[in-house]
């Protein structure tokens, strides 16, 4: 990677709440109260939990989430003084407007999240949406960085947004991948995922930007790694070869060694196969040294927004210096996950964090953030 890229500010809305302060407070407290039982969506007699985000009414679900994150980010954008034509937007999504257009699939607009930012928030530079299922918003960081490296933009709004969609919830349920209760990543009795919704949008700038001087507290994008193992349409490679390749690529991109990473935010879906392959891949790359947790019991699996949301939780932890995002599931399977698993109240000092996002079809992304 050439140079340093600053993640200067963040707008976020998830089951953990709205805004940086509420999200940080509830994350460190291990607050799972935003995960609620889903009613009237699955077939009679079946149930699951879902991470609902508080959002205003009056527009599409994903549009409301984008607007909430942009409302928080707008002061920083306006404070830049950059020309609107020099500010881009790259947003990951998996569902986009699918909930509104379930009855008419021809009208699903996968480009909608980035288009909404361009049309409503005075961001007039290059704008597009990335949709690679659960790795979508992890991959946006590489795309946004290229816009800055090429000189096409002075700043980029980058992240992800995804909303509750009944057809997708039922699809995961049909795959027997959903848990009827709160998801339990890394536990021997894990029974599947809980889905969720939300948006996390960063303002990314080059480190040499005249609009935002680099400081010792700035959180930077250090590296991005991507891979595509194409093992199966929905199942991960059981050995985690694609996951391993993405993590090693991120380390190489950042110019870091495995021992330079202080914390790993796992993809950690709580399914038997994902957790097994991911833990195996993590151990091959990092051994048993690096603390790792899954934050999906706090937010749900927000699919195309998950990569950005979990990068945002890392961003909040790195800025605060209070610790790393906790793992709130008891009775971790130590044979599966022999590495340190941080609990609520941990004070682990982290300067670097790696966040994993692994998707259907073997589309994988790992992102490394750091503070000076």
Indicate which residues carry an active-site annotation: 134, 267, 301
Pairing type for strands 87-92 and 127-130 reads parallel
- Cβ neighbours of 26 (radius 10 Å): 19
Nearest to 162 by CA among 61, 69, 27: 61
Distance CA 299, CA 27 (A): 9
In three-state secondary structure terms, 314 is helix
In three-state secondary structure terms, 320 is helix
Tell me how far apart the 2 most distant CA atoms of the chain are, in Å: 58
> Where are the alpha helices (H) located in 150-240, listed in sequence order?
166-174
**For residues 301 and 193, is the Cβ–Cβ distance under 8 A?**
yes
Distance CA 237, CA 142 (A): 24
Distance CA 202, CA 161 (A): 12
Provide the token pair at 206: 């080059």
**For residues 352 and 260, is the Cβ–Cβ distance under 8 A?**
yes
Distance CA 289, CA 347 (A): 16
Angle, alpha carbons 221-225-228 (nearest 5°): 150
Q: What is the 3-state secondary structure (H, E, C) of 111-156?
A: CHHHHHHHHHCCCCCCEEEECECECHHHHHHHHHHHHHHCCCCCEE
The residues, any chain, with a CB within 8 Å of residue 135's CB and separated by 6 or more, are 92, 226, 307, 357, 358, 359, 363, 364, 365
């Amino acid at each position: 990677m050439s140079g340093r890229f600053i993640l200067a500010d963040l707008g976020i809305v998830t089951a953990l709440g709205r805004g940086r302060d509420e999200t940080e407070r509830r994350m460190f407290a291990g607050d799972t109260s935003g995960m609620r039982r889903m009613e009237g969506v699955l077939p009679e007699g079946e149930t699951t939990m879902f991470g609902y985000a508080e959002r205003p009414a009056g527009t599409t679900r994903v549009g409301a989430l984008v607007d909430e994150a942009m409302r928080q980010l707008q002061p920083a954008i306006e404070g830049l003084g950059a020309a609107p034509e020099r500010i881009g937007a790259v947003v990951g999504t998996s569902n986009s407007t699918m909930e509104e257009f379930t009855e008419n699939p021809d009208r699903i607009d996968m480009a909608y999240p980035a288009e909404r930012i361009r049309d409503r928030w005075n961001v007039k530079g290059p704008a597009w949406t990335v949709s690679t299922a659960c790795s979508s918003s992890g991959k946006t960081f590489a795309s946004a960085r290229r816009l800055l490296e090429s000189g096409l933009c002075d700043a980029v709004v980058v992240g992800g947004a995804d909303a509750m969609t009944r057809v997708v919830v039922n699809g995961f349920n049909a795959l027997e991948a959903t848990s009827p209760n709160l998801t339990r990543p890394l536990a021997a009795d894990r029974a599947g995922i809980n889905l969720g919704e939300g948006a996390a949008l960063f303002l990314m700038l080059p480190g040499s930007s005249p609009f935002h001087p680099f400081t010792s507290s700035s959180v930077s994008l250090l590296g991005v790694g991507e891979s595509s193992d194409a093992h199966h349409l929905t199942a991960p490679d059981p050995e985690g070869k694609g996951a391993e390749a993405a993590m090693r690529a991120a380390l190489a991109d950042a110019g870091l060694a495995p021992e330079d990473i202080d914390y790993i935010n796992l993809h950690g879906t709580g399914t038997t196969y994902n957790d097994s392959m991911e833990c195996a891949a993590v151990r091959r790359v990092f051994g048993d040294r690096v603390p790792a947790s899954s934050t999906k019991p706090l937010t749900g699996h927000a699919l195309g927004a998950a990569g950005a949301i979990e990068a945002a939780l890392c961003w909040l932890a790195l800025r605060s210096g209070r610790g790393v995002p906790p793992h709130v599931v008891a009775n971790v399977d130590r044979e599966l996950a022999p590495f340190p698993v941080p609990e609520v109240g941990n004070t682990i000092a982290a300067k670097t964090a790696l966040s994993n996002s692994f998707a259907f079809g073997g589309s994988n992304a790992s992102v490394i953030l750091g503070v000076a």
